[in-house]
Every structure is written in C-alpha cells, then in structure tokens.
Amino acid sequence: MTIVASAFGPLPAQLFPGQIIKVGHPDASLVRRIQERLNELGCGPIEVNGIFDKDATKRAVMLLQSRFADTTGAPLKVDGEIGSLTWGSMFGASTVPASSVAPSALTSAAITFAVSQIGVMEDPLGSNRGPEVDRYLRAVGLDPEGGSFAWCVAFTHFCYQAAAQQLGVANPHIRTAGVLAHWNAAGTKAGVLRVTKSSATADPGRVRPGALFIIDLGAGLGHSGMVIETGDGRLVTVEGNTNDNGSRNGIGVFRRTARKIADINRGFIDYGGF
C-alpha cells in the first residue's frame, strides 16, 4: 500500500476525489474514510457510518478546520465542507492534484515569456506607463499616451503573442485589455476552455499551467494573471499590474504564491487546446 506523509504522520494514500464532500454526500465508503480520519486526528469521536450529517460529521470537520492549518500554514475556511485544502490538511499535500507541466507548446512558451518579465516596473511608478508596459498596451490596441489604462490582461495577451510569434502560430488570446470582457469573449470562441469557479474548486486538476485566472471585483473591475504551477488547491502565478500583495492596478510584474483556487471568484481561461 502506498504511504504518504502528512502533518500528522504516515497514512495510507487517499487521493482527493475531485469533488466537494459535504452534508448529504452519497459515497458512503468515502465518507467512512473521512470519519475514520477525523477520529484519528482527535476531532471526534463520531460514528463511522458513511453518513455525512449536519450534526456529528459536519461539526467534526469544522473542528478540524478551526484547529489545523492547510499544508502551507494558512488558516482553513471553517465551513464544514471538504475541498482540496481541507483534504490536503487531512490526508497530505501529495494526495491533491498538482502540476507544473503546461498542456501545450504554446502555453509552455507563454509561461516562459511571462516569467522573463518578472521585475518589469512602471516608470514612473503608479502611472500605468513605462517602456514595457506601453508595449503591452499597444498590443491590444490602446494608446498609452491617450489615458491611464489597467494592463493586467494586456500583459497576458502580450505573453501569448510573444509565444505565438516564437512558434510561428496564430495568437489565440483574445485581443482585449478588459478582465471581464476577456472572460465573456472566451465563452464564445471555439477551442477556448472556460473553467468556472465551482468546477475548479471541486476538481483542482482542471486548472492547468498557462491558464489565466479571472477575478471579478464588481463595478466592472477585475484582475487577471497567468497560472504557472498548481498544487494542493493553491496557485503560483505571474501577474502584471499588481504588487507583492496581489492588488489590482499595482506597479509591476510579480511572481505570487498566495492565491487559492477557491478565491478565484469567476474562473479560469485555458488556451491549452491551441
């Protein structure tokens, strides 16, 4: 039997099933293994009966979430539902899908170019301008001298444009600087895969390197960046027009490791089919 490591010692491997486990879950054998693990971790005692009820089992899950962190040491959301982060805390990070391999030559080249841009900064800071930033904006048809434009999507478009030119293929990235415009247009373009928040949260394996995350901030505003690695429900990203804290309309291109799949409230755009 395969043995994996966790914060609580070795245990038989139990891979994340690619779905949220919560009250009423129909797979009794899976629920029994969860109940066993909750008892092993001191969050019971509860009956191992295969029924995910709102009293004993949900409360035991909430107790675990309040006591333990995820595999990176960050607090778990105390909601009584077992997503990939809670699962990783219970059964070990290696039981949750992770990937650093892009699904196509184009997405791999786009990642390589995005990484090469880490450290690009606006000049002057806070201006949405600068030699490199101006190139990103012009690539999506904006004149940087005609106003101040957010450029996070212009950045991802430029990364795919550079990759496409390197490979001698057409750039599939929709030509826009708008976060929500990008999401909406991706839903109508053949060959482009949109992964919604709910499906990505249930199955982190659906989020692949090279995908672009889409965050809707309301009032027509948003933020986007490129996923370069995934693991344990978390993302490693390269983002333009941000800062160390991951804010929208920041000052440069940064590599970030703090985002969670569950926090991406709109979803992901995947150009891995090109």
Report yes or no: 106 and 169 within 8 Å, Cβ to Cβ.
yes
CATH number (domain holding residue 63): 1.10.101
| Closest among 221, 220, 219, 209 to 268, alpha carbons compared | 209
130, 222: one domain: yes
Question: Cα–Cα distance between 63 and 80 in angstroms, integer?
Answer: 8
Packed helices 105-116 and 152-167: angle between N→C axes, nearest 10 degrees? 120
Backbone angles phi, psi at 252, to 5 degrees: -170, -165
Domain boundary among 50, 67, 96: 96
pLDDT (tens place) for every residue of the chain, 274 residues total = 333 444 445 445 688 988 899 999 999 999 999 999 999 999 999 999 999 999 999 999 999 999 999 887 889 999 999 998 899 999 988 888 888 899 999 999 999 999 999 999 999 999 999 999 999 999 999 999 999 999 999 999 999 999 999 999 999 999 999 999 999 999 999 999 999 999 998 888 899 999 999 999 999 999 999 999 998 788 999 999 999 888 888 999 999 998 999 899 999 999 999 9
Written as one letter, the residue type at 24 is G
Structure-block tokens of residue 40: 């092993």
Do both 85 and 103 map to the same domain? no
Domain end, chosen from 96, 131, 156, is at 96
Assess whether 260 and 139 both reside in one domain. Answer: yes
On whether both 115 and 150 belong to a single domain, the answer is yes
Return the pLDDT at 12. 52
Q: Are residues 131 and 91 in the same domain?
A: no
Q: Show the tokens assigned to 55.
A: 């009293």
Domain extent, residue 166, equals: 99-270
Strands (E), 7-121: 11-12, 98-99
Q: What is residue 93's predicted lDDT score, i.e. its pLDDT?
A: 83
Nearest Cα residue to 78 out of 43, 36, 39, 33 = 43
CATH no. for residue 257? 3.90.1720
123 and 221 in a single domain? The answer is yes
Residue 262 and residue 155 share a domain? yes
Task: Specify whether 159 is located in the same domain as 66.
Answer: no
Same domain, 179 and 256: yes
Per the structure, the count of domains in the chain is 2
- Asked whether residue 112 falls in the same domain as residue 243, the answer is yes
Q: Which SS3 state, helix, strand or coil, does residue 194 take?
A: strand
Q: Are residues 36 and 119 in the same domain?
A: no
Pair (144, 92) in one structural domain: no
Looking at 96, 130, 163, which one is the last position of a domain?
96
* Cα separation, 151 vs 28, whole angstroms: 48
Nearest Cα to Cα of residue 225 among 206, 246, 204, 245: 246
